[in-house]
Amino acid sequence: MSNTKIRVTLWNEFRHERTHEHIKKIYPDGMHKTIADALQKQGCITRLAALDDPEHGLTEEVLANTDVLTWWGHCAHGEVSDEIVERVHRHVVERGMGLIVLHSGHHSKIFRKLMGTTGNLRWREAGEKERLWVITPGHPIAEGIGDFFELEQTEMYGEFFDIPTPDDVVFISWFEGGEVFRSGCCWQRGKGKVFYFRPGHETYPIYHNANVQKVIGNAARWARYAGNATPNTCIWAKDPLEKLETGV
């Protein structure tokens, strides 16, 4: 495991924060800036990128220098170019870039492409209470979190959540209104790791919460690539490793 600093790029749709006064007050420089500040304190090198940047801020060069990418989108999923989605996908599955998808990113093009499912879920915006229970206490993403943590006011996401069976489920949420949700889910895709983390509605100060910040930092450390260096391509293994008796 490398001891060099993790390079995290924080991608944000960055529209709500510029158009809604209430949200601007919570996140004057955008949700991605708030998360970036928290990750810097945890020792990460951070970079911001947004939908309205050229190439959405995700040039080949930026991605090639990104260990872990976080993704927040909501109202403008359709404006993300398919070409950039292909590029991000390639960096995840072929190179092993980690991806942390936040909250309403469940419907983003990149998440649906990596999952193969719709990402559909049940939802309600009523400012209710959420309690996230740790169900895999030995998981590195749960490091430093107790049995559970609470968010006083959140948008509700409920099951059935249309995702493939996760490799690990770290958190399950309880909602005051009667629903449950798999709120922290891990998957391997090619050489890359993907973490979906539910909290994050733009109208509440979720990304200022210390537990939320800790989980995102843990996830960045978990998602960093640490496998083998062989390219993930189709390989014509013309010459067998062993002598064939029956072959032609």
Which of 54, 78, 82, 165 is in the footprint of its own copies by CB under 8 A? 165
Site for its own copies in 30-59 (CB under 8 A): none
The two structure tokens encoding residue 1: 């495991």
- Cβ–Cβ < 8 Å for 213, 102: no
- Cβ–Cβ < 8 Å for 166, 185: yes
Smallest CA-to-CA distance from 197 within 225, 224, 176, 166 is with: 166
Is 177 a binder of its own copies (CB under 8 A)?
yes
Instruction: Strands of 62-179 (E only): list them.
Output: 68-72, 98-102, 122-134, 148-158, 168-175
Q: Which residues pair with 46 in a beta bridge?
A: 8
The two structure tokens encoding residue 216: 């995102």
Is 22 a binder of its own copies (CB under 8 A)?
no
Is 135 a binder of its own copies (CB under 8 A)?
yes
Is 28 a binder of its own copies (CB under 8 A)?
no
Total residues binding its own copies (CB under 8 A): 88
Give the max Cα distance, the chain: 74
Which of 77, 182, 198, 201 is in the footprint of its own copies by CB under 8 A? 182
Of 28 and 164, nearer to its own copies (C-beta) is 164
Which of 51, 134, 216, 219 is in the footprint of its own copies by CB under 8 A? 134
Site for its own copies in 185-214 (CB under 8 A): 187-193
Of 19 and 230, nearer to its own copies (C-beta) is 230
Provide the CA 74 distance to its chain's centre, in angstroms.
14
**Cα-trace Rg, the chain:** 19
Is 145 a binder of its own copies (CB under 8 A)?
yes
Which of 127, 205, 208, 211 is in the footprint of its own copies by CB under 8 A? 127
Stretch that binds its own copies, among 25-33, 48-56, 67-75, 167-175 (CB under 8 A): 167-175
Is 225 a binder of its own copies (CB under 8 A)?
yes
The two structure tokens encoding residue 27: 């996140």
- Cβ–Cβ < 8 Å for 150, 131: yes
Is 114 a binder of its own copies (CB under 8 A)?
yes
Is 108 a binder of its own copies (CB under 8 A)?
no
* CA dist., res. 55 & res. 41, Å (int): 28
Other Cβ atoms closer than 10 A to 94: 14
Of 54 and 146, nearer to its own copies (C-beta) is 146
- Cβ–Cβ < 8 Å for 14, 51: yes
Of 76 and 169, nearer to its own copies (C-beta) is 169
Of 81 and 232, nearer to its own copies (C-beta) is 232
Is 88 a binder of its own copies (CB under 8 A)?
no
Smallest CA-to-CA distance from 156 within 205, 104, 115 is with: 104
Is 81 a binder of its own copies (CB under 8 A)?
no
Nearest distance in Å: CB 163, its own copies: 9
